[in-house]
Structure 1
């Protein structure tokens, strides 16, 4: 019988028992009479028709209806029945006592039980009924009690057994539930119906602990199994619930928490090394081993693993015939703080454990030992292994004296009170042996930083007199590097004293071989880099995007390479930038010999580097070839987009720190992207030790600055880094900039993109050249235009030409990076493309990253609204515009950047697009970037335009007219 939603009605919930699924629920609406009483007019309600009764439903009702729908027998059968049988047939077969699928049975029961557990908390404040045998939904009403009941578990031990039973209380009144026809609606947490009342419980009682007593007074545990029962069943109950006991004791204890950090060696292969020849003593040293750290919490006589998280832990003690249950109350909040503290110090714990290479582990111990002691964490070696590790102080003091033709190097190495000869440590470092046995039998782990900071010193030096080492003077850069290391911190500080108060830097002569002129602010950047070069210090050029970091750097390289043989400099950058550097070097420093060290067929003989002034490679190849590249000593190592190494623990950061050079320079528009630790990582690459160790920097600068806004710490950090970081914003140098700065951004295709491009290019080349041979260019123009358009689309993103394409795009990666870079600097960007589908791809990236933007193509109805939003809303940084819809008639003076995603046949159209931002009223300089995919028709169109200047002069306005001017050789070149 239908219920009218326009007349008074009531939503109710009815439970019924299914033969296989247990208790299920249905939702109904029932018409009310004039007195507000339920009538016999009722109607089932589901998610499909719930909206009809919206005025009588609340948020919980909608959620209940949805959950109840999902547990109906037909829905459950459909979910688990792969053969599509009728629900009754499926359940009969699935739950057959002889042939049923027990795994499927359990899956189904778990599925239904999870939904019951979701329903029960939402039932408070609702009307619940038992369904009658005739399907009447409002047969017997069940009162849903809001106040939770409590359970007390009773144990009575006597000479024969232990009686166990629970009692229930609600509002301080005992609830008699045994032999009352009570039944369980939900197991975990427990919900039970007792005499038409629905009870829930505090402390999330499991109904399985109550179910045996619905029709039983107590359970008796015989003496012969009580010990096992007490440990496995009673102890967890004592820990989690209220327990009353006779015949044994329960003691609650509160003791002090003591964190214990155990470490032990994980087994590895061993090698024999002769250490103390004078004693004839041979030792077995295990190399490349790992250290296992385990965090435990001590409470009195008991230790708990840090991953055993319990408010209360219970221990069972038996003395003669008497049992005592000790309830240990734990301080979980304090335990969590210790775990977090260790994570912050560089010891990530998983299941209370962490493993590290032995050298790294002891470097961590050395760097954090004082912090551990101050925090109250006790460090202990675990077990009785063959080794006992030395945990004292390790130090190396190096003294370098200038001789006539070389440097004499003297060093004192101490592990606690033991002094080890320099030449022995040198042999260990050269052979990459990390562990050394001390005279007292303890094993000392040579600090990892000694291997990184002194590896070159050891490798290039020779044994001299009186256990000293000799270093030839042509290795002076190694001596300078030591001055910039943590172990030579005071020497580096004296350098800073001389640099601290500099105000101006003198002018340096521009190198003769440099082809071009630097603007005043660029000349200042060149002078600054030459200044740092004299002091053999590294610097970070962090100018805003578009201010010419590349040309300033090339001027520096021309200066240091023009007169003398100063070795080879290494330029490291994202793959997409390599072509830009090659082009810029050809233009501004044509005399410098550059080697492109990329590609799978690259010559890996590093000796060839000496024949070149510059070697350009990618971050990816640094990771792959680090073992080779680390063997070559470069003049400069220059990292472009150096924010790549912002994470000091990343593989690439570690790799670039392994590279060797006399000078270092980094280029980035974003020296700090996330935290000041980004700055630490990059500055540590440039000038090791400048900002101290990682833990020191975190405590002294990062936390005070980021968490407490400590201005003094901020000023101090700025004072330290000031000589080594040069950053100019467009606003600072606006008077030095032209009205428009135009750039070409060369992009590299991804592997999948290149495969798609080559496939289409080959197919169209054969077709087009065949048609030209057969009928001439005039009859082939449609095919030419079709082929070139498809190749241009793939050069942007293959998805433009193939909806089935699921790979990536090199150009999209570059666009995304530069968009994010400009947005991070609070700039506004116009993004133009003649392909609307390309704009849609970019818009998806913006949506995925929750970046607000305006959008305009031919289908946009309110153009002016989109323009006004972009101009006035500071949150909108990007405006996506199609060429045809937005190439003319828009005034977008808030934009400072214009991105042209694909090259147009007519350069005049590009100029018109740029003029959307660069027009009267624009107060900021406009930076334009044309995105050109390397080795594609895009690049070749650009070359063709340059070679055929007449085309641009004639202002070709259509793609067809452009095609008409092409010769057979032009077309062949485009498709090569």
Structure 2
């Protein structure tokens, strides 16, 4: 019984992954044809002769068509990746407008991967471990698009409120030539920024999850070229107000998620991220549910009775591994252990902070009298020495 279930599950899962790969390939082919039609129309309008096929750069399209004509081996990760990233642009040096420092080799590779997403009209997730410079790589992408691709903007970056100041400082350090608006603050402060946004005299707008919902009427007006979401794993709930606002009020087809959190082994969460990134492919939660949550319901009589029971833990793990395979062209994750040779040596600085006058007075009282003061200036015995030590530590660790 278990063998039959496992065999059918492997076949059905592989079939879904194969159909996804075919959709990606067909999507690339359709886009190429639209680009060729646009080029022909532009040349015809300019009075140029109809170009020969050799005049068009069809090398990458031919490769995609060749992959379409053969059976796509989804177990071959290189073939699958090449199909998704059919247009490759080699990057050896960072943009000249990125002046805050020199990118590490793995960061240049990250930039090249994100540029490949752009060239191939794909969206993705930069999921490097925390501390590897996702913010800097994102700024590098924007400077590259502005400098090399002549794409002045506009770029919308949505971040947690706690990190918006750091993002602003990093832009000032690494790309001071870019015009960046930090859209935050109270109504009066935002009203002044609304005027700047309406004028369109900017490259980048930084804002928060809350304000992109509250002020969607203003923030959805510009013609955004790119949407970047920091802490992108928060979008895994497709029913959240943030996801619905971004999908319904904002027309931004190019999207990049940043997260240092590995993808969780949850089918709904994985589908939520895929749907946000590639809605034209992952457009039906019902189909996804049928394939991956209830794969045995329509087994055509191959399985009966207990064999059609819900997936067990082992089978769910197998399915999720297949989904991770689907995500490979659209997700880049490096951990510190992989690139530690490129990281600077860790240095620790011990900074001694003196106690305030109030801290020092309470500390001395506990030390000398084994008492503490509470409301009403009532003295209470701290008790045993272990509790005296605990109270003293609490005084030192709290700035009062």
- Report the TM-score when normalising by structure 2: 0.59
- Which residues of 2 match residues 616-627 of structure 1 at below 5 A? 616-627=206-217
Answer yes or no: is the 8 Å Cα contact 2:81–2:329 preserved in 1.
no
CA contact (8 A) 1:677 1:702 kept: no
The DSSP-based 3-state class of the residue aligned with 2:276 is helix
Aligned to 2:389: 859
Structure number, greater radius of gyration = 1
Q: What displacement does 1:679 show?
A: 2.5
Unpaired runs of 5+ residues, structure 2, are: 1-32, 44-78, 296-310, 361-373, 376-385
Shift of 1:695: 1.9
Q: Pick from 390, 404, 413: which aligns with 2:41?
A: 404
Match of 2:336 in 1: 730
Alignment partner, residue 21 of structure 2: none
Which residue among 674, 699, 709 is the counterpart of 2:315?
709
When residues 883 and 676 of structure 1 are mapped into structure 2, their CA distance, relative to the original with a 3 A threshold, is farther
Q: 1:540 aligns with which of 120, 125, 129?
A: 125
1:521 aligns with 2:112: no
SS at match of 1:638: strand
CA distance in 2, matches of 1:662, 1:544: 26
> Is 1:592–2:171 an aligned residue pair?
no
**Aligned-partner Cα distance in 2 for 1:675–1:530:** 29
Instruction: Tell me the equivalent position of 2:14.
Output: none
Q: What is the 5 A alignment of 1:100-119?
A: none
Give CA-to-partner distance per residue, 1:472-497, whole Å, 9 cap, x none.
xxxxxxxxxxxxxxxxxxxxxxx978
Q: Does 1:583 align with 2:113?
A: no
- Counterpart pick for 1:632 among 198, 222, 241: 222
Q: CA deviation at 1:678?
A: 1.9
Partner residue of 1:611? 201
Contact persistence 2:154–2:204 (CA under 8 A): yes
Q: 1:741 to 1:637 in 2, by over 3 A?
A: farther
- Greater per-residue helix proportion: 2
Name the SS of the counterpart of 2:338 in structure 1.
coil
State the secondary structure of the residue aligned to 1:637: strand
Change (3 A) 1:859 1:607: closer
The correspondence for 1:574, drawn from 160, 173, 176, is 160
Could you tell me how far 1:544 is from its partner in structure 2?
1.1
Match of 1:666 among 251, 257, 277: 257
Specify whether residues 721 and 692 from structure 1 end up closer, same or farther in structure 2 by C-alpha distance, changes over 3 A only.
farther
Q: Which residue of 2 aligns with 1:651?
A: 241
Q: Secondary structure at the match of 1:595?
A: strand
Change (3 A) 1:619 1:719: same
Equivalent residues of 1:609, 1:615 under 8 A apart: no
- CA deviation map 1:523-547 (0-9, x unaligned): 2211111111111211101111111
Shift, 1:559, TM fit:
0.9
For CA contacts below 8 A with separation 6 or more, give which structure has more relative contact order. 2
Does the Cα contact within 8 Å between 1:671 and 1:679 map onto a contact in 2? no
Does the CA-based 8 Å contact 1:522-1:552 persist in structure 2?
yes
2:377 maps to 1:740 = no
1:312 corresponding residue in structure 2: none
Corresponding position of 1:889: none
Q: What displacement does 1:786 show?
A: 4.6
TM-score calculated relative to the size of structure 1: 0.26
Alpha-carbon distance in 1 for matches of 2:231, 2:42: 40
* TM superposition shift of 1:609: 6.1
- Structure 1's consecutive aligned runs of 4 or more residues displaced over 6 angstroms after TM superposition are 501-505, 703-706, 881-884
Measured after TM superposition, the shift of residue 637 of structure 1 is 0.6
Bigger strand fraction: 1
Shift of 1:739: 2.5
Give structure 1 stretches of 5+ with no counterpart.
Answer: 1-398, 407-494, 744-781, 790-802, 805-855, 861-880, 885-900, 904-976
Could you tell me whether the CA contact under 8 Å between 1:500 and 1:719 is conserved in 2? no
Q: How many residues align?
A: 279
CA root-mean-square deviation = 4.0
CA distance in 1 between partners of 2:205 and 2:247 (Å): 17
Could you tell me how far 1:731 is from its partner in structure 2? 2.1
Any conservation in 1 of the 2:181–2:202 contact (CA below 8 Å)? yes
